[in-house]
Structure 1
Amino acid sequence: MNLSSHYKLLHFIPWTRAKIYKMLLLSVVPTALYYLAGWTWLFVPWVPVALIGTATAFISGFKNTQTYNRTWEARQVYGSIINSSRSFGIMVRDFVRAENKETEAGLHQEMVYRHFAWLTALRFQLRESKSWENVKSKSYNREYLQYYKVPEWESTLGEELKPFLSAEELNGILSVQNKATQIVSNQSLQLKELNKNGFIRDYDYVTLEGQLKDLYDQQGKCERIKNFPYPRQFASINLYFTNILCFLLPLGFLGELSKHVSAYGNWFVLLTIPLSVLVGWIFLVLEQIGESTENPFEGSANDIPVTQISRNIEIDLRQMLGQKEIPPAITPVNNILM
């Protein structure tokens, strides 16, 4: 997530420079043929260009709206995870009781640490790369990775889980496919044992199980966004329409500007190049921005900051336990927060 007021041109122009090169090529070639080779027939009427531009603007706007909705939904889901985590923390602290204070504190820490493990496993699963994601497959996104780091790509899940789980439980978790799901399952098994042994009253046990169900609900919503891409048919027509428009733009501008040659001279058609580059760049960038917003967990600079949110939850719950050694909050790097 970018925390600055806007992307600076120093970063934005290099990120989109391939689009500029593309439009330069598409505009220079027909303009040179028209101006230097005398191909004065090389133009198309402006009406079909305008119609295609209208359709492209509509589908680009639709895509950007829908991809933004995916990102906003992902942020809402993680907002619910924050609230559910805090509720789970105070319920564990207040519902799980033992006559021995050390035993009680140990149970609280064990369950809260297992919740930290769930947060960790979930964010690692969400940051796994999918075939339709763009952050690693597109050169301009890979190049932008120089400005930030994705923590889940810098370490392993096993190392991250070690502080939160016993060696036996850790080995069991690492052996299953959906690790976050299994961690919540283990949490439920412990609640069952604590209720059986009298550490949790029946009503409190049911309430805590309801919190686990809510965590599963939020996890499922994250997995739906992660595993169901923006429909490929809509992504494809947006790409095709934009490229057709960019191909026709210089030909349309040639047709329009050539009408004024008698008044301004032949050089006037050379304005085709900057005008085509500018208008084409706008449409291509709209398509690229929509593409970069499709997958809010893929590890891009526009991601939901799941690492930072998870750390803030950890800080809150550790303080609920009365711990003094608290890990530092995640801070942005180059105004990008992961």
Structure 2
Amino acid sequence: MNTGDHYHLSHYIPWTRFQIYKLLLISTIPAIIYACTGGKWFTMPWVPVALLGTVTAFISGFRNTQTYNRTWEARQIYGGIINQSRSFGILVRSMVRADDPALEQDIHQRLIYRHIAWLTALRFQLREVRSWEYIKKRRYNQEYQKRYYVVPEWQSDMGEELKPFLPEEERQYILARKNKATQLLSRQSDELRGLNEAGLLTDYNFVALETHLKDLYDQQGRCERIKNFPYPRQYSSLNLFFTNLLCILIPFGMVQEFAKFGPEFVWLSIPFSTLLGWVFVALDMTGEATENPFEGSANDVPITQISRTIEIDLREMLGETDLPPAIQPVNNIVL
């Protein structure tokens, strides 16, 4: 997530420079053809180009609206996880009771630490790379990522980050499972049942905490739906085809328009065609960069920062003071 007031051209121009080079080449060819032939056989009416531009703008707008909706839904999901995590911590401390204060504190810590482990496993799973994601497939995305930020889940190991929150036997059990976050909630449910059977958790309170686990499963499932189901490829492909076709045809239409002012004005079609094509290409790239909100791009939902915030809140509920620092933006980017 970018925490600045806006992206600067010093970011956008390098990020799109390969496309700018292509647009300059495409825009130069019609001008050279016109100059070499004197425009005798070179004709391209502007009307069909303008109509294609209208269609392309509509398709790009539709795509960008839908990709933004995916990102906004992902942020809403993690907003729900924040609220439910804090509620879970409060309910654990209020509902789980034991005559021995040390035993009670140990149970509270075990349940809350397992929840923090769930947050850790979930963010690692969401940052796994899928075949349709762009962050590691596009050279310009890789260059931007290496220059401005790092993805924490790519720099560390899930097993190591789970060590402070799980007993070694349970950690090994979880690491051997495919969906680790799911199994952590399952273990959480098993312990709640054991506390209920031991008389440390009443039936009513047991149902209340189990309902919270169900809600967390729902939120995890919504995250997995966004992660594992890409923006429909048919719409993405149409946007790519129409944008490329428009960028090819714009220079031919521009040449005709500038030739009306005189042959020497034909060369002005090059910068104007490049600029107009860049608008559509940048719009397409922006939609692409917003499409997958957990892939590790600069526009991701900041699930690492959110998880750290929840961890701090929950550990403070336990009375701990030796807390990890909040994650701060680097180069106005936080993940």
Per-residue displacement from partner, 1:255-305 (whole Å, max 9, x unpaired)?
Answer: 2222222xxxx2111111011001000000000000000000000000000
Q: Aligned AA for 1:186?
A: R
TM-superposed CA distance for 1:9, in Å, is: 1.4
| Aligned equivalent of 1:253 | 254
Equivalent residue number for residue 112 of structure 2: 112
2:2 and 2:306 map into 1 onto residues whose CA distance is 14
1:144 aligns with 2:144: yes
Paired position in structure 2 for 1:11: 11
One-letter amino acid matched to 1:11 = H
For residues 217-245 of structure 1, give each alpha carbon's deviation from its aligned partner in whole angstroms, at most 9, with x where no partner exists: 00000000000000000000000000000
Pick one of 283, 296, 315 that aligns with 2:293.
296
Identify which of 307, 310, 314 aligns with 1:313.
Answer: 310
Residues matched between the structures, number: 334
5+ residue gaps, structure 2, are none
1:260 aligns to what SS in structure 2? coil
**Displacement, 1:40?**
3.8
C-alpha distance after superposition, 1:83-138 (max 9, x if no partner): 00000000011111111100000000000000000000000000000000001100
Name the structure 2 match of 1:330: 327
Counting only pairs closer than 5 Å after superposition, residues 147-296 of structure 1 correspond to structure 2 as 147-261=148-262, 266-296=263-293
Query: Shift of the alpha carbon at 1:37?
Result: 4.6
Three-state SS of the structure 2 residue aligned to 1:295 is coil
**Pairwise CA distance, 1:36:** 3.6
Using the TM superposition, give the Cα deviation of residue 39 of structure 1 relative to its aligned residue in structure 2, in angstroms.
Answer: 4.7
Question: Within 5 Å, which residues of 2 pair with 1:26-45?
Answer: 26-45=26-45
Deviation at 1:161, TM superposition (A): 0.5
Q: Distance in 2 between the 1:9 and 1:66 partners?
A: 25
Deviations 1:3-37 (A, max 9, x none): 00111111111001111111100011111121145
Identity of aligned residues (%): 63
Is 1:87 paired with 2:87?
yes
Which letter does structure 2 place at the counterpart of 1:229?
P
Counterpart AA for 2:43 = F
Partners in 2 of 1:38 and 1:129 — Cα distance? 52
* CA distance in 2: counterparts of 1:210 and 1:43, whole angstroms: 69
1:61 aligned onto 2:75 = no
Give how far 1:175 is off.
0.6
CA distance in 2, matches of 1:37, 1:335: 51
CA RMSD of aligned residues (A): 0.8
Match of 1:128 in 2: 128
**Match in the other structure for 2:51:** 51
* Structure 1 residue matching 2:41: 3-state secondary structure: coil
How far off is 1:38 after superposition? 3.2
Partner of 2:76: 76
- C-alpha distance in 2 between matches for 1:241 and 1:302: 25
Q: Distance in 2 between matches of 1:157 and 1:37?
A: 64
**How far apart, in 2, do the equivalents of 1:40 and 1:175 lie?**
72
Q: Bigger CA drift: 250-259 or 87-96? A: 250-259
Residue 42 of structure 1, CA deviation: 2.5
Distance 1:177 1:42 in 2: 61
Distance 2:297 2:256 in 1: 41
Letter matched to residue 106 of structure 1: D
Superposition deviation, residue 139 in structure 1 = 0.3
Q: Report the residue type matching 1:276 in the other structure.
A: S
1:37-63 CA-to-partner distances (Å, cap 9, x unmatched) read: 535422311111011000000000000
- Displacement of 1:326: 1.0
Range with greater deviation from structure 2 (276-285 or 25-34): 25-34
AA in 2 matched with 1:41:
W
Q: Distance in 2 between matches of 1:79 and 1:226?
A: 17
DSSP 3-state at the match of 2:260: helix
Q: What is the one-letter code of the residue matched to 1:260? A: F
Which residue identity is paired with 1:8?
H
